[in-house]
Structure 1
Amino acid sequence: MNLSTYTKEFPKNFSLAFPIMMGQLGHVLVGFVDNLMIGNLGAAPLAAVSLGNTLIFLALFLGIGFSFAITPFIAEADGEADIQKGRVFFQHGLVMCTVNGIILFLLLLLAKPILYHLDQPKDVVDLALPYLDIVAFSLIPLMIFQGFKQFADGLSMTKYAMYAILSANVVNVIFNYLLIYGVWFFPRLELEGAAIGTLISRIFMLVLLYLILSKRPKLKPYFVLMKKSLDKKIFKRLINLGFPTALQMLFEGGIFTATVLLAGTLGTNSQAANQIALNLASMTFMIAVGLGVTATIRVSNQKGKKQFKTLRDVAYSVFLQVFIIEGFFALGFILLKGFLPTLYIDDAEVLMLASQLLVIAALFQLSDGLQVVILGALRGLQDVKIPTLICFVAYWLIGFPVSYFAGKAEALGNIGIWLGLLTGLTASAIMLYIRFNMLSKKQILTFEKTKSTA
């Protein structure tokens, strides 16, 4: 196949992905801003945010994973030009996301005592709990927002969620500044102030996206309430796609969360350094997530049109594009490993540890980027069960044992923990690529055979 077959798709891929990238980056920037402002308070508060977010991230992985089920159904209905089908999946998906938000909030409240049994510094846990309460409640508006966002993404209208998320970041920065440090007549709330800023920004984000989408003439048919009651069969289809997707995110996110807990056993400075490296790596990962959603949208569209050869070419163009982009990020991490951690904190030991981790983070950029876009393409084919098994094997049977044994203080410490991440992500990328290659070839052969016998 000529290379131009793939590179000619780059502009369309990027035009779809860029707003998603900026939107996903906006979500991470909320944490980035919290870390920068809280880092000024010292290593213990920064470690507390890291610890509190371990539970928040696990909940996010589940909630966002379920919401991702909405996009391929909407994109496929769009490819078929079936507005009624799209409306049904949108409205059922919105109900699903709302219920998930409430459930996740309640589960987090019940899970708080777990933090005292994870071998973490007690002062860090005491600081984390009030922060966790407020951020947990913010998951309700965030999950409803996800329902609207995934619907718009499925229609290739990716820019509106970006507008809402970036605007919400401005709101978050303002309220963080006022409430963390107690500026003007606002009280000095430190970590709780950062959590309140996050809650306010997420409510603002939801309201703004709803207003934007509901006013679009093209989308008005989707906002007309269904005459029939909710259909269990539609929920079943959404859950059958969403639950494995949530597990995929949980398996991957879980191993990153495990690094926080393993780093915590090495001390406050190791945990703070781990948080810095994770936050920087998560920002570049959001770029890959944008292309992963693009793969889902474009593959679903081609599936709806039954253009399976084009589907395969489009998917491979996204794989190549993310590989090139993540290569640049890897180079940047290596060249700037001494500078980037200084944006967070002024502590010699933490800076030294974080700069070492960024070298390994640079190495797994390529694997991490590839595995997330291949997962997106497989989601577009509505193939989620085997990829979920692949994720479990790669992260927990291959990657985690390396992190656990090599990450002990008497072994390689933080570096060993991150070598486990590198191993797991690489194994995942290889196995998922084999799965997509096999499945896409099979679909082309099946379709051509069906045409020849018709």
Structure 2
Amino acid sequence: MTLSTYTKEFKYNLRLATPVMLGMLGHTLVSFVDNVMVGQLGTAELAAVSLGNSFIFIAMSLGIGFSTAITPLVAEADAADNFTRGKSVFKHGLFLCTVLGIILFLLLLLAKPLMYILDQPEEVVVLARPYLDLVAFSLVPLIIFQAFKQFSDGLSLTKYPMYATLLANIINVIANYLLIFGKLGFPEMGIVGAAVGTLISRVVMLFFLWWLLAKRKRSQRYVIQIKLFELSKKPIKKIIHLGLPSAMQMFFEVGIFTAAIWLSGTLGKNAQAANQIALNLSSMTFMVAMGLSVAATVRVGNQKGLKDFVNLKRIAESIFFMGFIFAVLFALCFVVFNTFLPTLYLDENDISNAIDAQDVINIAATLLLASAVFQISDSLQVIALGALRGLQDVKIPTLITFVSYWLIGFPVSFYFGKEDLYGSMGIWLGLLAGLSAAAILLIIRFNYLSKRLILQ
């Protein structure tokens, strides 16, 4: 195949993926705004948000990962023009996501004592506990939102979740400004104000997306008159069959980044704050790859429904190629601006925190160089996961992610992340090793399955 065979798909790939990218980026921007505003309060507050969010990320990965099962099933039903099956998938997925959101909220409340067991700085833990309570509760509307989002993506209506997320970001910025710093007569709540802003924005985001989908003729009949408690075993089993491994895939990946936060905490609050800055910046570029991953799931799911396996492989490879190009561009940005980007998070003019702030900036600048290196592997592994999800292949990829992140990546982070070796950089070397292993193995898996489908 010639290069144009792949590049001619770029326009449609981008049209499908861009709203998802912007929507996912919106989720990350909520965290970015929290970090930038909280960073003005001091490095301990920034480290507290990092610690609290480390628990949130684990729960969120399970919820978001589980909800991704809805997209390929809806896409396949849509390609087959089967409304009844599509609505059944959505209804059962919505029910399961609602239950899962409530369970994850309760588990987070029970997990708070782990902050002390993990040998984190005392002042950071004291600040993180009340922050965690409110952000944990915001998971309930967030994961219900994910059910609507994944359904919308499956119908290729990717712009509506983007609109909802952009509105949520505007609300979050305003609420943060008012509640963190106590402006316009509102109480000065510090990092708890950031948590309140996150909760409010996620509730609004959920109801706004439902309203948008209820207005659109194509999606209206799916999202109104939902008989949520009239359930059947078969679709529940199908969604769990796909959703549980997908949740574990995301859990294994997010888990190693969470472990990096906890390992950084053992190095002190400055190392933990620097890790949070590098992680937040990396997660924003990762959302571009996530958008392409959703595009891969939808397009591969559609081609699977049409049983056009030659074009299925070609289209997926065109998305891999796009992901590679974006990753190289982001890597160059991190290399060029590695010393500037961390300064966005901290108040360098705060004399009382000047030494700590400079230390955090120096560490974060070094970590961004490591992040630049793994942009390519991080992008390719998540796009490959999306393509495999479109094929409804989830069990082997789950095993691959476990081996890559926890048998390869984490041991490297744990060993080289000690203070007497490479410290924070050693932790991120483990992330690089895990992501690279996952990218290679997942692409091999997709290549094997797609060729087998073509030859059958």
TM-score range normalised by the length of the shorter chain: over 0.9
Residues 281-329 of structure 1 show CA distances to partners (whole Å, capped at 9, x for unaligned) of 0000011000000000000000001111110000000000000011000
Counterpart contact for 1:260–1:271, Cα < 8 Å? yes
Report the CA distance between 1:227 and its aligned residue: 10
In structure 1, what is the equivalent of residue 403 of structure 2?
A: 393
In structure 2, what is the equivalent of residue 450 of structure 1?
A: none
Residue number among 420, 424, 444 corresponding to 1:434 in the alignment? 444
Report the CA distance between 1:225 and its aligned residue: 3.5
Amino acid at match of 1:53: N
Counterpart contact for 1:101–1:139, Cα < 8 Å? yes
In structure 2, what is the equivalent of residue 376 of structure 1?
A: 386
Report the CA distance between 1:229 and its aligned residue: 2.6
Report the Cα distance in structure 2 between the residues aligned to 1:229 and 1:207, rounded to whole angstroms.
22
Amino acid at match of 1:119: D
User: Normalized against structure 2, the TM-score is what?
Assistant: 0.97
3-state SS, counterpart of residue 116 of structure 1: helix
In structure 2, what is the equivalent of residue 303 of structure 1?
A: 304
Amino acid at match of 2:254: G
Report the CA distance between 1:220 and its aligned residue: 2.5
Report the CA distance between 1:221 and its aligned residue: 2.4
In structure 1, what is the equivalent of residue 374 of structure 2?
A: 364
Give unmatched runs, 5+ long, in structure 1.
447-454
In structure 1, what is the equivalent of residue 131 of structure 2?
A: 131
Report the Cα distance in structure 1 between the residues aligned to 2:309 and 2:58, rounded to whole angstroms.
35
What aligned pairs does 1:285-296 form with structure 2 within 5 A after superposition?
A: 285-296=286-297
Residues 350-409 of structure 1 show CA distances to partners (whole Å, capped at 9, x for unaligned) of 111110000000000000000000000000000000000000000010111110000000
What aligned pairs does 1:149-298 form with structure 2 within 5 A after superposition?
A: 149-223=149-223, 224-225=225-226, 229-298=230-299
Counterpart contact for 1:403–1:417, Cα < 8 Å? yes
3-state SS, counterpart of residue 119 of structure 1: coil
Report the Cα distance in structure 1 between the residues aligned to 2:289 and 2:57, rounded to whole angstroms.
18
Report the Cα distance in structure 1 between the residues aligned to 2:290 and 2:226, rounded to whole angstroms.
31
In structure 2, what is the equivalent of residue 18 of structure 1?
A: 18
In structure 2, what is the equivalent of residue 83 of structure 1?
A: 83
Report the Cα distance in structure 2 between the residues aligned to 1:220 and 1:40, rounded to whole angstroms.
44
Report the Cα distance in structure 2 between the residues aligned to 1:87 and 1:225, rounded to whole angstroms.
9
3-state SS, counterpart of residue 130 of structure 1: helix
Amino acid at match of 2:270: N
Give unmatched runs, 5+ long, in structure 2.
349-356
Report the CA distance between 1:425 and its aligned residue: 0.4
Percent of aligned pairs with the same residue? 62
Counterpart contact for 1:291–1:322, Cα < 8 Å? yes
Report the Cα distance in structure 2 between the residues aligned to 1:206 and 1:17, rounded to whole angstroms.
21
Residues 238-283 of structure 1 show CA distances to partners (whole Å, capped at 9, x for unaligned) of 0110000000000000000000001110111111110000000000
In structure 2, what is the equivalent of residue 417 of structure 1?
A: 427
Q: CA RMSD in A?
A: 0.9
Residues 178-204 of structure 1 show CA distances to partners (whole Å, capped at 9, x for unaligned) of 000001111000011000000000001
3-state SS, counterpart of residue 267 of structure 2: coil
Counterpart contact for 1:83–1:221, Cα < 8 Å? no
Q: How many residues align?
A: 446
Report the CA distance between 1:336 and its aligned residue: 0.3
Report the CA distance between 1:8 and its aligned residue: 0.4
User: Normalized against structure 1, the TM-score is what?
Assistant: 0.97
Residues 318-348 of structure 1 show CA distances to partners (whole Å, capped at 9, x for unaligned) of 0000000110000000000010000011311
Counterpart contact for 2:91–2:228, Cα < 8 Å? no
Counterpart contact for 2:417–2:423, Cα < 8 Å? yes
Q: 1:342 to 1:302 in 2, by over 3 A?
A: same
Amino acid at match of 1:66: F
Amino acid at match of 2:449: L
Counterpart contact for 2:248–2:398, Cα < 8 Å? yes
Report the Cα distance in structure 1 between the residues aligned to 2:87 and 2:70, rounded to whole angstroms.
11
In structure 2, what is the equivalent of residue 118 of structure 1?
A: 118
Report the CA distance between 1:75 and its aligned residue: 0.3
Residues 403-439 of structure 1 show CA distances to partners (whole Å, capped at 9, x for unaligned) of 0000000000001000110011000000001100000
Report the Cα distance in structure 2 between the residues aligned to 1:3 and 1:421, rounded to whole angstroms.
32
3-state SS, counterpart of residue 225 of structure 1: coil
In structure 2, what is the equivalent of residue 41 of structure 1?
A: 41
3-state SS, counterpart of residue 112 of structure 2: helix
In structure 2, what is the equivalent of residue 452 of structure 1?
A: none
Report the CA distance between 1:67 and its aligned residue: 0.4
